[in-house]
Amino acid sequence: MGKMICTECNREYSLEEKIWKCACGGLLDIDFQPHFPIDKIRQRKPTMWRYREAIPISEDQNIISFGEGFTPLIPVEFGGKIVWMKQDHLFPTGSYKDRGASVLISKVKELGIQNVVEDSSGNAGCAIAAYSAQAQIKCQIFVPQDTSPGKLAQIQLSGAQLNKIPGSREDTGRAALKAAAKDYYASHSWNPFFFQGTKTFAFEVCEQLGWRSPDSIVVPVGNGTLLLGAYIGFQELLKAGIIQRVPRIMGVQSAHCAPLYRAFKEGLREIPKIDPQNTLAEGIAIAEPIRGRQILEAVKESRGDFIAVDDSEIKKSLRDLCKKGFYIEPTSAATTAGLSKYLQVPNADEIVVSVLTGHGLKATEKMLKILPEVNQGATI
């Protein structure tokens, strides 16, 4: 029933092994044959688990779920054009990371693991902490010191042990890796089971569009958990003959921390060293994306591109979205700022899907801080 394969040395492992990387240190991918019994799927509850035969968890009794997913996909007008907006800020912990956490922690339960470690800019930590709480699994979360206080409260109140790490996001990653020498690393970027959850984004979008693929998707990208998950999902639907093509994937980065954007524009295969600056988009401020090469290949293969947006564009988009009634966190406004840029190139009949990834209530301090500027339009 599927296997894990090393992306460096091609070594294969059973899905029942308690590992998250290859013995050679390489990243693991999952090779699994999904099935899409569409008539059955249609009759099931509106959650991401309606695609049960496409998710590599053996026993139903191991599923850790809050009934998440199948978030609304609604038409929203952007500069005179209609975009289909997936409302993934409406997940139980307030971000799309619940897709990955539900599948990964279900797998952790299936493997009989009692302790997990995760590092995050905040939202993945919130999700792993909540699903670990339901599974009664001990959880340690590492976050950068300046993570939004709302996310810190959420992690701690879920019963996880919180470790605030001074320095960069990469310093936080290194601290978690050290702890993962002892406990299982439930990492959203390393662990391949996380992507088996985020791929349900593609399934839902296609089903909600009447089992067809959009022409393009505009998604945020830091470590690429949504971007790569969506790519895997669309590929699986293509192989199953359900859709005829994979959409163009547009990845949005913060201009203050845009290693993938730079690599793509300069035609590099490896991720360049960058000097990241502070950005409002804390969720996508990843200077060294572990799956960087895979992300570049996925975007290239889909005939997509990268878009970079600066903090003033993020603020402007945040104001616009909030005024439409979508209360999202600044990281999500980076996506919509990128979307507005993308739509400047006219393509009348194109079906465009984008996504709201995180709820505004998670970042109240940041929202209050930028409120005066947004009201006065000072830096906008």
Ligand X SMILES: Cc1ncc(COP(=O)(O)O)c(C=O)c1O
| Sites of contact with ligand X (CB under 6 A) | 95, 121, 123-124, 220-227, 283-284, 286, 329, 331-332, 357-358
In the bound state with Zn ion, the residue whose beta carbon lies nearer, of 23 and 74, is 23
Shortest distance (Å) from residue 26 CB to Zn ion: 4
Shortest distance (Å) from residue 39 CB to ligand X: 33
In the bound state with ligand X, the residue whose beta carbon lies nearer, of 132 and 331, is 331
Shortest distance (Å) from residue 253 CB to ligand X: 9
In the bound state with Zn ion, the residue whose beta carbon lies nearer, of 11 and 42, is 11
Shortest distance (Å) from residue 343 CB to ligand X: 20
Decide if 181 contacts 211 (C-beta within 8 A): no
Q: Which does 283 bind (CB under 5 to 8 A by kind): Zn ion, ligand X, none?
A: ligand X
In the bound state with Zn ion, the residue whose beta carbon lies nearer, of 187 and 254, is 187
Angle between helices 225-239 and 200-208 (to 10 degrees): 60
Q: Which does 22 bind (CB under 5 to 8 A by kind): ligand X, Zn ion, none?
A: Zn ion
Q: Which does 220 bind (CB under 5 to 8 A by kind): Zn ion, ligand X, none?
A: ligand X
Q: Which does 331 bind (CB under 5 to 8 A by kind): Zn ion, ligand X, none?
A: ligand X
In the bound state with Zn ion, the residue whose beta carbon lies nearer, of 22 and 271, is 22
- Other C-beta atoms closer than 10 Å to the C-beta of 330 total 25
Decide if 62 contacts 110 (C-beta within 8 A): yes
What's 51's DSSP letter? Answer: G
Angle between helices 225-239 and 97-110 (to 10 degrees): 80
| Residue partners of 39: CB distance under 8 A and separation at least 6 | none
Q: Which does 276 bind (CB under 5 to 8 A by kind): Zn ion, ligand X, none?
A: none
Nearest to 317, CA basis, from 365, 347, 280: 280
In the bound state with ligand X, the residue whose beta carbon lies nearer, of 71 and 357, is 357
Question: For residues 148 and 66, what is the distance between their CA atoms, to the nearest angstrom?
Answer: 24
Shortest distance (Å) from residue 236 CB to ligand X: 19
Binding stretches for Zn ion (CB under 5 A)? 6, 8-9, 11, 22, 24, 26
Q: Which does 158 bind (CB under 5 to 8 A by kind): ligand X, Zn ion, none?
A: none
Q: Residues 337, 342, 345, 347: is their CA dihedral positive or negative?
A: negative
Shortest distance (Å) from residue 7 CB to Zn ion: 8
What number of helices (H) and strands (E) belong to the chain?
13, 13
Q: Which does 123 bind (CB under 5 to 8 A by kind): ligand X, Zn ion, none?
A: ligand X
Shortest distance (Å) from residue 345 CB to ligand X: 23
Backbone φ and ψ for 57, nearest 5 degrees, come out as -115, 130
Angle between helices 364-376 and 149-157 (to 10 degrees): 160
- The stretches of the chain forming alpha helices (DSSP H) are 38-43, 97-110, 123-135, 149-157, 169-179, 192-198, 200-208, 225-239, 259-265, 292-301, 311-323, 330-342, 364-376
Q: Which does 236 bind (CB under 5 to 8 A by kind): ligand X, Zn ion, none?
A: none
In the bound state with ligand X, the residue whose beta carbon lies nearer, of 175 and 252, is 252
In the bound state with ligand X, the residue whose beta carbon lies nearer, of 36 and 130, is 130
Shortest distance (Å) from residue 127 CB to ligand X: 9
Taking CA atoms, 191 is separated from 123, 141, 239, 252, 318, in Å, by: 16, 15, 24, 23, 31
